[in-house]
């Protein structure tokens, strides 16, 4: 059997670790290391800032001042045309997309096969997002374009079972065309040293989307928890625009910080909170587990799967600050159990999640389909 080579594309340069939290870069790196890479390219036609602004203004008018106009027909048609040009030049006719926003094709290219790696679907995203401002026209077009994009793929690789279920139940994709592949970890490295589970140090880290990731709920819950345990400490790491406005007892805030400082913070803390209202996956959950931190989140989207249904974390069935505060307080009442959970969480995480495993599964499936 011939050794296949695969093109990879993303909205943003897949060779850049900063693109989409580094996910395209991790896929690209593994393909390169396995000698399975044909080409890697940016699927976005609007890499020039002036072109991007012009396209966005046109889309903004077309969709009646809607948000997220990049999900509309103009951006996506132009992106798809760029992908067609790139794949025609490639030595390979097999292409792995890391976003549906470069799809669908107006007409599926002949003699090519296309695959999609996805962390969510449009249906899952907009139904749970906290943002408003979508026009009816954009909602209609986004759903239509998404359905067409999925139907054009030879196979789809979601990162989780709940996304697979949505592809089947909402988009009517055949189960045989779907393979769940998970992900590897983010930029934080596993911590193998001794961790103090008596210190009461709780971490919330989010680069953006503070509301979507449960930031306001964390602050409210922490104020409640302090009444029962005044020794608790909460560290918040994220964007300056929201960390600078927080001034509460027991709370330390950091904007963007150096990588070595962020690693140190993960190493020192003993419980990780992110009760995300809308988070498709959350590489930061995996990073916390790898640093021996049990995780706390809402029992929705990826959290049940990542926490192994509560074996390595604490799940909330509703977005209740009182219940979240109770979890914080109870976790430190039995530090020996927290420590045991943290140790087992790291072992589970490192055994189950790796980019090599994810990409190997993708390559093997594509190879089998030839």
What is the per-residue pLDDT across 27-74, written as a single tens digit (0 to 9) for each? 999 999 999 999 999 999 876 778 888 989 999 999 999 999 999 999
* Residue 323 is assigned to a structural domain of this protein: yes
Instruction: Give, in order, the Cα–Cα distances in Å from 100 to each of 72, 90, 114, 303.
Output: 11, 20, 11, 23
- pLDDT reported for residue 130: 66
* pTM, full prediction: 0.93
- pLDDT reported for residue 208: 79
| Pairwise CA distance, residues 25 & 14, whole Å | 5
User: Residue 316 is part of which domain span?
Assistant: 201-352
Which of helix, strand or coil describes residue 107?
coil
> Quick one: 247 and 327 in the same domain?
yes
| Pairwise CA distance, residues 234 & 253, whole Å | 8
> Quick one: 170 and 25 in the same domain?
yes
| Pairwise CA distance, residues 93 & 110, whole Å | 9
- pLDDT reported for residue 243: 67
All residue ranges of the chain with pLDDT < 50 are none
> Quick one: 272 and 165 in the same domain?
no
- pLDDT reported for residue 299: 96
> Quick one: 159 and 265 in the same domain?
no
What is the per-residue pLDDT across 163-198, written as a single tens digit (0 to 9) for each? 999 999 999 999 999 999 999 998 999 999 999 999
106 class by beta-carbon count within 10 Å (0-12 exposed, 13-18 middle, 19+ buried): exposed
* Residue 193 is assigned to a structural domain of this protein: no
| Pairwise CA distance, residues 146 & 270, whole Å | 40
> Quick one: 94 and 207 in the same domain?
no
Q: Residue 326's domain is classified under what CATH number?
A: 3.40.50.2000
- pLDDT reported for residue 250: 92
Angle at 202 between CA 331 and CA 220, to 5 degrees: 90
Helical H segments across 189-243, by residue range? 215-228, 240-243
Count how many domains the chain has: 2
């Amino acid at each position: 059997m011939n050794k296949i080579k695969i093109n990879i594309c993303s909205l943003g340069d897949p060779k850049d670790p900063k693109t989409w939290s580094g996910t395209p870069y991790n896929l690209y790196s593994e393909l390169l290391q396995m000698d399975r890479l044909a080409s890697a390219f940016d699927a976005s036609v609007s890499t020039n800032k002036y072109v991007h602004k012009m396209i966005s203004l046109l889309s903004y008018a077309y969709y009646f001042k809607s948000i997220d106009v990049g999900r509309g027909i103009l951006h996506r048609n132009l992106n798809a045309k760029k992908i067609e040009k790139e794949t025609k030049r490639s030595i390979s006719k097999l292409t792995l997309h890391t976003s549906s926003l470069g799809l669908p094709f107006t007409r599926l290219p002949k003699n090519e096969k296309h695959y999609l790696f996805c962390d969510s679907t449009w249906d899952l995203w907009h139904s749970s997002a906290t943002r408003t401002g979508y026009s009816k026209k954009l909602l209609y077009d986004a759903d239509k374009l998404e359905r067409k994009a999925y139907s054009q793929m030879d196979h789809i690789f979601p990162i989780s079972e709940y996304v697979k279920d949505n592809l089947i139940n909402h988009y009517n994709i055949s189960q045989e065309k779907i393979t769940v592949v998970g992900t590897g970890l983010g930029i934080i490295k596993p911590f193998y040293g001794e961790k103090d589970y008596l210190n009461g140090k709780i971490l919330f880290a989010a680069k953006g989307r503070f509301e979507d990731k449960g930031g306001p709920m964390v602050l409210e819950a922490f104020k409640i928890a302090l009444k029962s345990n005044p020794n608790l400490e909460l560290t918040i790491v994220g964007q300056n625009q929201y960390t600078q406005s927080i001034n509460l007892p027991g709370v330390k805030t950091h904007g963007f910080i150096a990588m070595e400082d962020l690693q140190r913070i993960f190493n020192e803390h003993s419980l990780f909170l992110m009760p995300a209202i809308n988070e498709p996956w959350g590489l930061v959950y995996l990073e916390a587990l790898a640093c021996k931190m049990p995780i706390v989140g809402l029992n929705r989207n990826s959290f049940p799967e990542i926490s192994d249904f509560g074996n390595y974390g604490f799940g909330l069935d509703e977005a209740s600050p009182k219940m979240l505060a109770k979890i914080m307080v109870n976790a430190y009442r039995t530090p020996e159990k927290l420590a045991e959970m943290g140790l087992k969480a790291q072992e589970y995480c490192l055994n189950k999640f790796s980019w090599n495993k994810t990409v190997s599964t993708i390559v093997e499936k594509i190879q089998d389909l030839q």
